[in-house]
Amino acid sequence: MSNYVKFFDTTLRDGEQSPGATLTSKEKVEIGRQLARLGVDIIEAGFPAASPDDLYAVQLLAQQVGQAKNLHAWAGEPLKVPVICGLARANKNDIDKAWEGVKDADHPRIHTFLATSEIHMKYKLRLDPEEVVERAVNMVRYAKSLCEDIEFSPEDAGRSDPAFLYVILGEVIKAGATTLNIPDTVGYTTPTEFGALIAGIIKNVPGIEGVTVSTHCHNDLGMATANTLAGVQAGARQVEVTVNGIGERAGNTSLEEVAMAISTRKPIFNLEHGIDTPQIVRSSKMVSQYTGMVVQPNKAIVGVNAFAHEAGIHQDGMLKNAETYEIMRPESVGWTQSNLVLGKHSGRHALRARLQDLGYLLNDENLQKVFERFKRLADKKKTVTDTDLLALVNDNLQQPQEIYQLVDLQVVCGTLGMPVATARIRKPDGSVVVSAAIGTGPVDAIYKSIDSVVNLPNNLQEYKVNAVTDGIDALGEVTVRIAVDPSTNGMNPVLSPQTSEQSARTFNGHAAHTDIVVASARAYVSALNKALEALGMKAGVQ
C-alpha cells in the first residue's frame, strides 16, 4: 500500500455550507488558486446542481485552477494541477450538472452520494436497502459513462450497518467507482470505532485493493481530526478536509491539523503528503477573510495564540531552547516573524517583491491599486507590517465590481444629538447622488443613507470590527454579512445537497481602513455590490 495520503479539500463545498459562508465565484477562484499553491490533490469546487451561480463557479474553477495552462500562467511556476471535483446527489440531473461543471478541468472528478444508514434510508430516502444499492449502482454507472474518475460516498456511513456497507461498496466498485469516501456525516463516531470501520471496509469489500479509501469526518463531538487520523492509520489514503475546519454545524476535519500531525509525528504515521505547510497560515487567513468566519484564537496551528508563549516560565524555557515548549516551528506553517516591511519611500518594485514573498502575485492593475493605498497608509502610519499589507491586498482582491461606489462620507455622532450620516454615492449610470439619514448610531445612519440609494432589501446578519495590528493607528477591518430574500427577482436560493432545503443567499462584505466608520460603509457597499452582481447587474450600466 502506498504511504502517500491525498488531501481532498472541500472548503469550497462542505466548508461553504457553514451558515453564512457564501463565497462569490471570484473569491472561489482566488481560494482555489491558493489551495493549488498549498498543494492539495483534489478540490471539491461545489455542488453544481444547486443553482446556475454554483455551476458557473465550478466551471470557472475547472478552467482557471484545473487547467495547467491557466494555473501555471497565473502562478508563474509549474504547480501541481489539482483534480477538480463536483458533488452530485445520486440522480441523473445532478450528475449531468456536476459533469458540466468539471469537464473542462485537466483532471475532472464526479462525486456522488447516497445515504446508507437505517435512519436516513427509512426517513429521508424512503427506500429499502436493495433499492439504495440499485440506485447507487445505476448512478455510479451513469457517472462513469461521462467521467473516468468517480467517487462514491455512502452518506452517514458512521451510523450505517458495516455489513450493508461492504455490499453496497463492492457493487459500486464493479460499477466503476475509483474512490470510496466514508463519511461520518453527523460526527458521531469515536476514533476507535472509525478506525475499525475503515479497517473492516478494507478487509471485507471485494475489489477494494483497486480503489482509494477516503475519510470524511465532521466535528460535532470535537473528534474529526482524531477520527481522520485513525482512518489513515487503518489504511485510508485520502482525507477530506477544509481549511480552518469550516463546514456545516461544528465543521469538518481541519486540513492544517491533519497535515501537521502527519508531518510532526512522522514515526507514528509513517506517511507522506503533498501539502506545502508554509502556505497554511496564508490559506487560513484568506479563507477566514473571504467567508467572514473568524478563527478562534486558540485554534491549533492557525489560531493567533497557537505559537504565543506568554507565561514567564514558558518564555524563559523558550529563550534557552525553543523545543522546550514548541513541537513545531511557527515558520513551518507560515507564521512569519518579519514586522516592518516597507516604508513610505518604498517603490512599486519593493511592494511587488514583498507581496510575492507573502504568496500574492498581483496583476499590474491590482498592484497599482494596492500601491496607492499602501502609500496613503504609509503616510498615516509609521510602520506598515505584513499584516497591514495582507489586509490591503485582501481588501483589494475582495472588492466586487463597483456597481455602486461610495465617493464620500461624513458622519456626525456623539452624545449631543442624533447620529447623522451623509453619503455621496455614484450610481451604475455614473450619476452621483447625495443622501442623508439619521440612525440609532453612526453605522446605522450610514447604512440607512446607503440603503436609500441602493434599495436592495436585505437583512444584516452580522457586523464585525477587528483591529489588524496593535496600536492606535491600526487598520480596522470590518466584515458584514447580508441575507437577500430568496423571493427577490433573479436571486437563486442556496440548496443544501443533503436535505434539499432552500435558504436565503448571503453575501459577505469586507473592507479595511484606518477609519472604521469608512471601513463599515465600504464593507456594506461591497456586500450590496456582490448581491447586485449575483442579480446580473454590471457596473456602468443603468
> What torsion, rounded to 10 degrees, do the Cα atoms 6, 10, 11, 13 define?
160
Nearer to ligand KIV, 96 or 220 (CB): 220
171 binds, among ligand KIV, Zn ion, none (CB under 5 to 8 A by kind): none
User: Cα(167)–Cα(200) distance, rounded to whole angstroms?
Assistant: 12
Instruction: Give the nearer residue to ligand KIV in terms of CB position, either 125 or 465.
Output: 125
- Residues 256-315 interacting with Zn ion (rule: CB under 5 A): none
**Contact range with ligand KIV by CB under 6 A, out of 179-187, 262-270, 303-311, 484-492:** 179-187
Contacting residue, 7, 99, 113, 152, with ligand KIV by CB under 6 A: 113
Q: Which stretch binds ligand KIV (CB under 6 A): 181-189, 231-239, 295-303, 338-346?
A: 181-189
Three-state DSSP at 406 gives: strand
**Residue 181, strand partner residues:** 214
Question: First vs last Cα of the chain: how many Å apart?
Answer: 61
Decide if residue 153 touches ligand KIV (CB under 6 A). Answer: yes
Beta carbon nearer to Zn ion, 14 or 54: 14
Task: Kindly tell me which residue out of 9, 14, 30, 53 binds ligand KIV, with binding defined by CB under 6 A.
Answer: 14
Residue 155 makes contact with ligand KIV by CB under 6 A: yes
Q: From ligand KIV, Zn ion, none, which one binds at residue 51 (CB under 5 to 8 Å depending on kind)?
A: none
d(CA 43, CA 243): 12
For ligand KIV, give the closer residue by CB, 160 or 398.
160
Number of helices (H), then strands (E), in the chain: 18, 18
The residue from 25, 51, 185, 244 that contacts ligand KIV (CB under 6 A) is 185
Q: Which three three-digit cell numbers place residue 244?
A: 480552518
Total interface residues for ligand KIV by CB under 6 A: 10
Strands 108-115 and 83-89: parallel
Stretch that binds ligand KIV, among 178-186, 260-268, 309-317, 366-374 (CB under 6 A): 178-186
- 153's contact among Zn ion, ligand KIV, none, with CB below 5 to 8 A by partner kind, is ligand KIV
| Residue 14 vs 53, nearer CB to Zn ion | 14
Smallest distance from ligand KIV to CB 153, Å: 4
Residue 11 touches ligand KIV, criterion: CB under 6 A: no
- Stated length of the chain: 542
DSSP state of 157: G
User: DSSP string spanning 442-478?
Assistant: HHHHHHHHHHHHH---EEEEEEEEEESSSSTTPPEEE
> Which of ligand KIV, Zn ion, none is residue 86 near (CB under 5 to 8 Å by kind)?
none
Of 179, 188, 252, residue with least CA distance to 14: 252
Q: How far is the CB of 159 from ligand KIV (least distance, A)?
A: 11
356-361 own/partner pairs: CB under 8 Å, 24+ apart? 358/282, 358/386, 358/389, 358/390, 358/393, 359/34, 359/37, 359/279, 359/282, 360/393, 361/74, 361/75, 361/76
Instruction: Please identify, using beta-carbon distances, which residue of 179 and 185 lies nearer to ligand KIV.
Output: 185
Instruction: Decide which of Zn ion, ligand KIV, none touches 155; Cβ closer than 5 to 8 Å per partner kind.
Output: ligand KIV
Beta bridge partners of 154: 114
Distance separating alpha carbons of residues 509 and 488, to the nearest angstrom: 19
Residue corresponding to grid cell 471485494: 206
Burial of 65 (0-12, 13-18, 19+ CB in 10 A): buried
Q: Which of 152, 269 has the CB closer to Zn ion?
A: 152
Q: Which of ligand KIV, Zn ion, none interacts with 530 (beta carbon under 5 to 8 A by kind)?
A: none
Choices 10-18, 70-78, 144-152, 202-210 (CB under 5 A): range interacting with Zn ion: 10-18
Please give the full DSSP string across 223-289, using - where no structure is assigned.
Answer: -HHHHHHHHHHTT--EEEEBGGG--STT-B-BHHHHHHHHHHTHHHH--B----GGGHHHHHHHHHH
361 three-class SS: coil
Q: Which of residues 103-162 bind Zn ion (CB under 5 A)?
A: none
The radius of gyration computed from the CA coordinates of the chain, to the nearest angstrom, equals: 24
Return the residues of window 12-71 that contact Zn ion according to CB under 5 A. 14
218 secondary structure, DSSP code: B
- Sheet with strand 505-513: strands edge to edge: 458-467, 476-484, 505-513
Nearer to Zn ion, 14 or 386 (CB): 14
| The entry of ligand KIV, Zn ion, none that residue 245 binds, CB within 5 to 8 Å by partner kind | none
Closest separation between CB of residue 158 and ligand KIV, Å?
A: 9
Q: Least separation, in Å, of the C-beta of 183 and ligand KIV?
A: 3
Binding flags for ligand KIV, 243-272, as an x/- string (CB under 6 A): ------------------------------
473-502 footprint of ligand KIV as x/- string (CB under 6 A): ------------------------x-----
Near Zn ion by CB under 5 A, which window of 6-14, 60-68, 138-146, 174-182?
6-14
Stretch that binds Zn ion, among 11-19, 89-97, 293-301, 424-432 (CB under 5 A): 11-19
26 phi and psi angles, rounded to 5 deg: -65, -45
Amino acid at position 257, single letter: E
Decide: is 183 part of the binding site for ligand KIV (CB under 6 A).
yes
Pick one of 37, 216, 354, 505: the residue that binds ligand KIV (CB under 6 A): 216
Q: Which residues bind ligand KIV (CB under 6 A)?
A: 14, 113, 153, 155, 181, 183, 185, 216, 218, 497
Q: Which residues bind Zn ion (CB under 5 A)?
A: 14
